[in-house]
Amino acid sequence: MKNILLITRLNRNDRDYIVTALYQDKKMLEVTLESVEQQSILGDIYVGRVKNIVKNLNAAFIEIAPGMPCYYPLDEMKQPLFVKKINSPNMVQGDEVVVQVAQESSKSKPPKVTTNINLSGKYLVLTSENKKIGISKKISEEKREKIKENLSSEHFEEFGIIVRTNAVSASKEEILKEYEKLKQEYINLKETAPYRTVFSCLKGSMPEYLHMLQNVNQSWLTSILTDDRELLEKAREYLKIFQPEDLEKLTYYEDAGMSLKNLYRLEHYLKEALLERVWLKSGGYLVIQPTEALTVIDVNSGKSISKKKVQEHYLKINLEAAAEIACQLRLRNLSGIIIVDFIDMKSDDSKEILMQALESAVSADPVPVHVVDMTKLNLVELTRKKVRKSLAEQIQ
């Protein structure tokens, strides 16, 4: 099975993008388009200024640039790093504080910022306020226990850490070495911040293609392909410093007979991922309709007809739909509240089988997905963590 990270450039509707796509046996699993003209601010760290406090929302709006207020929930505040503090025990208008962009703007919503600064490495994420040890749920229970045992004697009082999936194959020494490096990076940032003016960017996030290089499960990935010399050199430079063991996976694609985009059907997958209707192999189909408040997915039997054992047939279509819904959530980067209207089934056992299949399907998603419940109207509620803009918003 070939698992490939593809990095290329694409011009779409007179805009230039850097496209990063994850494939499994030439099937696209995940894709992001980053505008060359307007790079994402997700993960950037700024000296922000509190514009105002909205008590009925229990939130502050913190500007990271003139006229660019960001939402900050006050109940998340623990130990913010103030650069300038007005004489008050609470956060107040005019305070200057170090914040990190935790979510991009979306539709009518402004970006969201946090004072819990996250610094990411290959094996760990260091957190400045949430001082706990967390371990990726993608790691098996047996290996989680082994990692806990290895780290239990260490002292992380100053910071919290999140152990990432890539730490499975790392030694205790490698993990602790990275912790010290991230710790020093935070100390440097803390020492530098008081000397920087308001709205200064203390640390810019890396481009999305490098971010995906860092985040993808390295033991799963077999190849990194690009057809762009500049992107090749930047990826090579990053890998040399941070992931030298993965350098051999990086390949420059040059074939005059077929472009990399055509070989991996990039335009085809992008076009399909923007369609409202998704056909299933059985002849059924999904209708995916994002709205301002939530995303609605309707499952239809379509051309799939069976006059015998109708309920069993409905279960078969619903199970196929559950697997495809998990794929579409990841591919389109849909997030927030998602309501799925599966084909009605009478049997409680069938409903239970469907819910278990859906839970299993979404568990492969690197972004946390929570299957909430099936309502009395047989609608299934899910939530998917919002971080980056949906694919449709990225292209728009």
Parts of the chain belonging to CATH 3.30.420: 3-37+207-266
CB neighbours (10 Å) of residue 50? Answer: 22
Residue range 141-191, pLDDT digits in tens:
888 888 887 777 677 778 888 888 888 888 888 888 999 999 999 999 999
Q: What is each CA distance from 178 to 189, 205, 336, in whole angstroms? A: 17, 18, 33
Q: State which of 151-155, 216-220, 304-308, 336-340 shows the largest mean pLDDT.
A: 336-340
- Asked whether residue 90 carries a pLDDT value surpassing 80, the answer given is yes
Cβ contacts of 11 within 8 Å, gap of 6 or more: 17
Q: Which CATH number fits domain 3-37+207-266: 3.30.420, 3.30.1450, 3.40.50, 3.40.190?
A: 3.30.420
pLDDT at 377: 85
Cβ contacts of 88 within 8 Å, gap of 6 or more: none
pLDDT at 175: 87
DSSP line for 22-87: EEETTEEEEEEEEESSS---TT-EEEEEEEEEEGGGTEEEEESSTT-EEEEEGGG-SS--EEE--S
pLDDT band at residue 306, thresholds of 50, 70 and 90? Answer: low
Residue range 27-70, pLDDT digits in tens:
999 999 998 887 889 999 999 999 999 999 999 999 999 999 99
Give bridge partners of residue 27 from the DSSP assignment: 24
Place of tokens 């509620």: 381
- Asked whether residue 354 carries a pLDDT value surpassing 90, the answer given is yes
Residue 325: what residue type?
Answer: I
**b/e for 92-121, b at 16 or more Cβ within 10 A?**
eeebbbbbbbbbbbbeeeebbbbbbbbbbb
- Asked whether residue 13 carries a pLDDT value surpassing 70, the answer given is yes
Q: In the predicted model, what is the mean pLDDT of residues 279-304?
A: 91
Distance, in Å, from the CA atom of 8 to the CA atom of 378, rounded to the nearest integer, reads 43
- State whether residue 218 is helix, strand or coil: coil
Distance, in Å, from the CA atom of 333 to the CA atom of 335, rounded to the nearest integer, reads 6
Residue 60: what residue type?
Answer: A
Please count the residues of the chain. Answer: 396
Q: Which of 11-15, 32-36, 235-239, 296-300 is least confident? A: 11-15
Parts of the chain belonging to CATH 2.40.50.140: 41-204
DSSP H stretches of helix in 101-246: 141-151, 172-192, 208-215, 229-242
- Asked whether residue 256 carries a pLDDT value surpassing 90, the answer given is no
What's the distance, CA 381 to chain centroid? 20
Supply the DSSP symbol for 165: G
The CATH number of 41-204 is 2.40.50.140
In the predicted model, what is the mean pLDDT of the chain?
91
Long-range residue pairs from 66-69, CB within 8 A, at least 24 positions apart, any chain: 66/199, 68/110, 68/111, 69/110
Helix axes 229-242, 208-215, angle to 10 degrees: 40
Determine how β-strand 285-290 pairs with β-strand 295-300: antiparallel
Tokens of 325: 């819904």
pLDDT at 216: 84
Give bridge partners of residue 32 from the DSSP assignment: 20
pLDDT band at residue 307, thresholds of 50, 70 and 90? Answer: low
Cβ contacts of 294 within 8 Å, gap of 6 or more: 336, 337, 338, 339
